[in-house]
């Protein structure tokens, strides 16, 4: 497994295409960015670029908004989820380190 981003995480999609894929207006997409729910990259010219993962997230956000969930509640949920993922990653690395130490691996097990 390489450290390269998955194709789903590469920021290559323009806001116009995202608009077509999600059914959201450009204003809605920008609003979700303002509310710190989505984080597109910017080109040197200032254009926003999104990933397939961003598109999926925008659809999730739109569905929650439609169900009456407020943007600040969505943001809190996203932060909680990220903290949980970070905690699980730290735990996994600690266990891997313990296994490596137990079995004498210096840089992880051989592939």
Give pairs for 83-86: CB < 8 Å, separation 24+.
Answer: none
Regarding predicted confidence, which is higher, 60 or 93?
60
**What is the rounded CA–CA span in Å between residue 82 and residue 26?**
26
User: The whole model's pTM is what?
Assistant: 0.72
Domain boundaries, the chain: 1-69, 77-104
Residue with tokens 């997409």: 29
Q: For residue 65, how many C-alpha atoms fall within 13 Å in the half-sphere facing its CB?
A: 16
Q: Is the pLDDT of residue 97 over 60?
A: yes
When the candidates are 2.160.10.10, 1.10.1660.10, 2.40.70.10, 2.60.40.10, the CATH number that belongs to 1-69 is 1.10.1660.10
Beta carbons of 40 and 48 less than 8 angstroms apart: yes
Note the pLDDT tens digit of each residue in 41-50.
999 999 999 9
DSSP 37: S
Say how many C-beta atoms besides its own lie within 10 A of residue 13's C-beta.
18
Question: What's the CA dihedral at 67, 72, 73, 77 to 10 degrees?
Answer: 120
Reply yes or no on whether the pLDDT at 107 is more than 70: no
């Amino acid at each position: 497994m390489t450290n390269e981003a998955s194709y789903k995480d590469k920021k290559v999609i323009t806001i116009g295409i995202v608009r077509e894929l999600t059914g959201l207006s450009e204003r809605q997409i920008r609003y979700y960015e303002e509310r710190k729910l989505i984080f597109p990259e910017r080109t040197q010219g200032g254009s926003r670029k999104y990933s397939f993962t961003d598109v999926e997230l925008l659809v999730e956000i739109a569905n929650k908004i439609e169900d009456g969930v407020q943007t600040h509640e969505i943001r809190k949920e996203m932060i909680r989820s990220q903290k949980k993922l970070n905690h699980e990653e730290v735990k996994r690395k600690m266990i891997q380190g313990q296994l490596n130490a137990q079995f004498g691996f210096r840089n992880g097990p051989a592939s």
